[in-house]
Structure 1
Amino acid sequence: MKVYLVGGAVRDFLLNLPIKDRDWVVVGSTPEELIQKKFKQVGKDFPVFLHPITSEEYSLARTEKKSGVGYKGFKTYYSKKVTLYEDLMRRDLTINAIAKDKNGVLIDPLNGMKDIQLGLLRHISKDFQDDPLRVLRVARFSAQLSHLGFRIAKETIFLMKNIVKNCELSFLTSHRIWNETKKALNTKTPHMYFFVLKKCNALSVLFPEIDYLYKINYFLFRYYNLGEQFLFSFSNFSKKNFSVDLRFSFFCQFLVYYNFLVQKNKFFSHKKIFKDHLIKNMLSRLEIPNFIQNLSIIIANNYFFLHNIFFESSEKIVLLFNRMNIWRNPIKIFKIGILSDFCIFFSECRYNCREKKVGNFLKIVFFILSSVSIQFIIKKGFKGFFINQELIRVRTILLDIYRLKIFLIK
């Protein structure tokens, strides 16, 4: 039995990147032998084992053959006779097909190290196009490594287009799509994920809401469309905001703003308006976690209110805070402020837009409103329904006083 470190751990080691997970492949063994050595079996489609001490994944060397449609349409074969080379051949990219033995010797039969030097994401064989998930994986690797100068080989882009053309993407589950998207959103250049999906024609299938932006031209600029503006704005936003919920909520904010511009601006070449439930449909289709959905919907539903908050009444602002349920999750107000302070259109997308007035104002308002507690209202003798009504009234008065002082100072 021989054990090799494979995949991303070896790739990241060669790129001097932090190693997050380590995967191992076992050659010349059987499930019974690993179980006898106290490994815990967890795989269903093929044997995957957890190390009894480190809990790292160990897989038996195997081969795969296409037998159906989608990413599940494979037959897996494993035995003592499957070689390391055969196991590496079933992988997606050459840079992910490098192994390292127990002595630290690198085994690179597919020239993955050369492609690392060239900064190239290249498929291993034509079998690459058998698995539709690889379209998302390559797009994600592009987002993960583009800051190091990596690019996708032309022949690999060609195979990715074939996968889309053959409608294989329709067999991907929403869980798989979101899992790869989430990983891409955690990279240094997440906008490259969507750039690559557009380049291989997958964006219209996976994210039609974003793809449609490329059909909207703005006549003041030659060859200018909202899809390019989205990538530009998203790239700038992501440079200083790293959490997935903020980055994804940015999509929703951009889509809401796009709707407004198309309706109001005569310079746009297209007048189709997305329906109000567009963003909710996108969130439910992708099975996005609730905490991200919550922030995205808040931004979508209150975008224009937040950008005109200085002209709204104090009572409406108090009611907005109630609707957003800020009291149970105060950190939400900081995130809403960050999104509201970002210029997403016809600007250099700098963070000094409006001098961060909305974000600062929201923080001050929260401090003022949270100073009034329910216990204070109850002590005054209010009960039931009237507790909330009095709470709103007192908070409105306090906010009015603050705003009046600011006005007089100015």
Structure 2
Amino acid sequence: MKIYLVGGAIRDSLLGLPIHDRDWVVVGSTPEKMIKKNFLQVGKDFPVFIHPLTREEYALARTERKNGVGYTGFKINFSKKVTLEEDLVRRDLTINAIAQDQVGNFIDPFFGRLDIKKRVLRHVSKAFQEDPLRVFRVARFSANLFHLGFFIAKETLSLMKLICKTRNINTLLPDRIWKEMEKGLKSFYPHVFLMVLDQCKALKYVCPEIFHLLHPVTLVSFPSIDMSLRQFIFKELARISYCTKNINIRFSYLCQFFSKICPKSISSKKFIFFDKKSSEIVNSLCLRLKVSTEIRKISVFMCGFYYFLQNIFVQKSEDIVKFFNIIDLWRKPKRLKHLKYLKNYEKSFFSRKCKMSLGELLLAMFNVVQQITVKTYHLKKNFTGIEIRLELNRLRSKVLKKWLHLNFFE
């Protein structure tokens, strides 16, 4: 029995990156032998074991042969006769197909160390195209290693395009697609993740809504910004990702721009309270991918209220308070952090005059109105039932109107 360190730990070590997990391959052993050595088996049909002391994963060397549809249609052979090289050849990228023995010698049959030096993401073998999940994995590696100058080899990108063109990627279940999307959106550069998926046409099949967002039928432009909607979305996603790692915020800020692809007249945009048509696209996307309820709600709010918020200076104070009520900030004040990074994209006279960003302005507004409470005004003495809520709204609207007038309209 021989044990080798494999995969990500070696790759990250060679790149000078922190090592989070170490995975091991065991050659020449069997499940029975592993169990006798007090390893804990993970699952019945998969040859992976947990070390009794380190809790690290040890997998028996195995081969995989395609015998079905999708990413689960593989026949696995983990006989003790399987060699280390046979195990490594089934891996996705050369930089992940490097092994190291217990005295530190590298086993690198596919020149992964050379590709690390060249900063190339290259597939190991033609078997790469048998697993559609690898399209997402390569996109994710691109996003996480973008700052180190990594790029996808032309032949690898061609195989990724082939996986999409042959509709093999359509065998992925919606919830699995979201899991991969979620991982990509959590990466260092999620805009790069989406750019790669868009480049190989994956979004066209697995997330057609996002594909049409990036490639709208009609020309979409931003005032004072000389770039396409696609370029602008990637730029904004990069900005938001620099500010926060919160997946709820990253995804919802992407979704806000669905409002841009639903045709509206210039004059009507200022008077839209909630854009139902574009929010339904976001809601449908989230339901299909089985996105969590909280992310879905935040994303629908960000999209539906896009034009209302972009034209906040011409809105009535009553409607602004109504907006705070609808997104339930009183019971869920943590949702405020989803608003703090918003910017004024639709430039106006007042937005140019205002020194605060849209997000900062909304937080300031909410700080003004949240000071008006049932207790501070002793409303229960003079009102009952729904009258209390109506009076609260009236008082909050009055105070907010006065604050806006003093700060922006004098």
Deviations 1:345-397 (CA, angstroms, capped at 9, x unpaired) = 9xxxxx99964342222122222222233444465353333332232223223
Cα distance in structure 2, aligned partners of 1:60 and 1:389? 67
Q: Judging changes above 3 Å, is the alpha-carbon distance between structure 1 residues 220 and 168 closer, same or farther for their aligned structure 2 residues?
A: closer
CA distance in 2, matches of 1:378, 1:38: 67
Give the secondary structure class of the aligned counterpart of 1:356.
Answer: coil
Letter in 1 for 2:313: F
Question: How much has 1:203 moved relative to structure 2?
Answer: 1.9
Q: Structure 1, residues 153-205: CA drift from partner, whole Å, max 9, x if none?
A: 11111211221122111111223222222222222322222222222221211
In structure 2, how many angstroms separate the alpha carbons of the residues matched to 1:82 and 1:229? 50
User: Which residue does 1:195 correspond to in 2?
Assistant: 195
* 2:348 matches 1:334: no
User: CA offset at residue 75 of structure 1?
Assistant: 0.3
Q: What amino acid is aligned across from residue 84 of structure 2 in structure 1?
A: L
Contact 1:64 1:76 in 2 (8 A): yes
Aligned to 2:256: 253
Cα distance in 1 for residues equivalent to 2:258 and 2:354: 21
1:386 aligns with 2:387: yes
Say which is worse superposed, 110-119 or 284-293, in terms of deviation. 284-293
- Aligned 1:233-382 pairs, distance under 5 A: 233-260=236-263, 264=266, 276-339=279-342, 341=343, 343=345, 355-376=355-376, 377=378, 379-382=380-383
Number of aligned residue pairs: give it: 394
* 1:277 aligned counterpart, secondary structure: helix
User: Is the Cα contact below 8 Å between 1:217 and 1:224 reproduced in 2?
Assistant: no
Q: CA deviation at 1:218?
A: 4.3
AA in 1 matched with 2:49:
F
**Whole-angstrom CA distance in 1 between matches of 2:142 and 2:297:** 29
Q: 1:123 Cα deviation (Å)?
A: 0.7
CA contact (8 A) 1:214 1:225 kept: no
Q: 1:405 to 1:215 in 2, by over 3 A?
A: closer
Provide the residue aligned with 1:405 in structure 2. 406
- Runs of 5+ consecutive residues of structure 1 not aligned to the other structure: 266-272, 346-350
Distance (Å, rounded) in 2 between the aligned partners of 1:387 and 1:246: 33
Measure, in 2, the Cα distance between the counterparts of 1:215 and 1:315: 34
Instruction: Measure the CA separation in 2 of the matches of 1:328 and 1:274.
Output: 27
The 1:291/1:17 distance shift into structure 2, 3 A limit, reads: farther
Query: 2:221·2:229 contact (CA, 8 Å) conserved in 1?
Result: no
Residue of structure 1 in register with 2:114 after alignment: 114
8 Å Cα contact 1:9-1:21 kept in structure 2: yes
The TM-score, its normalising length taken from structure 1, stands at 0.87
* Alpha-carbon distance, 1:323 to partner: 0.6
Give the whole-Å Cα distance in 2 for the aligned partners of 1:229 and 1:125: 36
- Give the C-alpha shift of residue 117 in structure 1: 0.6
Question: 1:289 offset after TM fit, Å?
Answer: 2.2
1:92 match: 92
Deviations 1:246-296 (A, max 9, x none): 2211221122123357x559xxxxxxx976521111111222223322221
Separation of aligned partners in 2, 1:230 and 1:363: 24
Contact 2:310–2:345 under 8 Å retained in 1: no
Paired residue secondary structure (1:371): coil
Q: Per the alignment, do residues 357 and 344 of structure 1 end up closer, same or farther by CA in structure 2, a change over 3 Å counting?
A: closer
Contact 1:50–1:56 (Cα < 8 Å) also in 2: yes
SS at match of 1:327: coil
Amino acid in structure 2 at the alignment position of 1:128: F
Whether the 8 Å CA contact 2:369–2:400 is kept in 1: the answer is yes
Q: Give, in whole Å, the separation in 1 of the partners of 2:365 and 2:283.
A: 28
1:375 and 1:79 mapped to 2: Cα distance? 72
**Residues 240 and 341 in structure 2, CA contact (< 8 A), matched pair in contact too:** no
Q: Structure 2 counterpart of 1:114, which letter?
A: L
TM-score by length of 2: 0.87
Mapped contact 1:48–1:58 kept (Cα < 8 A): yes
**How far does residue 220 in structure 1 lie from its aligned partner after superposition?**
9.3
> Which residue of the partner structure matches residue 271 of structure 2?
none
1:62: Cα distance to partner? 0.7
Higher mean alpha-carbon deviation, 133-142 vs 376-385, is at 376-385
Q: CA RMSD in A?
A: 2.9
Aligned equivalents of 1:7, 1:404: Cα separation in 2: 61
Q: What SS is found at the alignment partner of 1:326?
A: coil
Whether the aligned pair in 2 keeps the contact of 1:343 and 1:353 (CA below 8 Å) is no
**Contact 2:278–2:304, Cα closer than 8 Å, also in 1:** no
| Correspondence for 2:64 | 64
Structure 1: how far apart are the matches of 2:380 and 2:166?
68
Amino acid of the structure 1 residue aligned with 2:37: K
- Hey, what does 2:142 align to over in structure 1? 142
Which residue number in structure 2 is paired with residue 270 of structure 1? none
Q: Which moved more, 1:275-284 or 1:64-73?
A: 275-284
Counterpart contact for 1:369–1:395, Cα < 8 Å: yes
**For residues 355 and 257 of structure 1, do their structure 2 counterparts lie closer, same or farther at Cα, with a shift above 3 Å needed?**
farther
2:331 & 2:106 partners in 1: Cα distance?
Answer: 52
**Conserved 8 A contact 2:23-2:57:** yes
Q: How far apart in 2 are the matches of 1:170 and 1:214?
A: 20
Give the 5 Å matches for 1:204-215. 204-212=204-212, 213-215=214-216
Identity %: 46
Structure 1, residues 296-322: CA drift from partner, whole Å, max 9, x if none? 111111111111222222221111111
State the match for 2:270 in structure 1: none
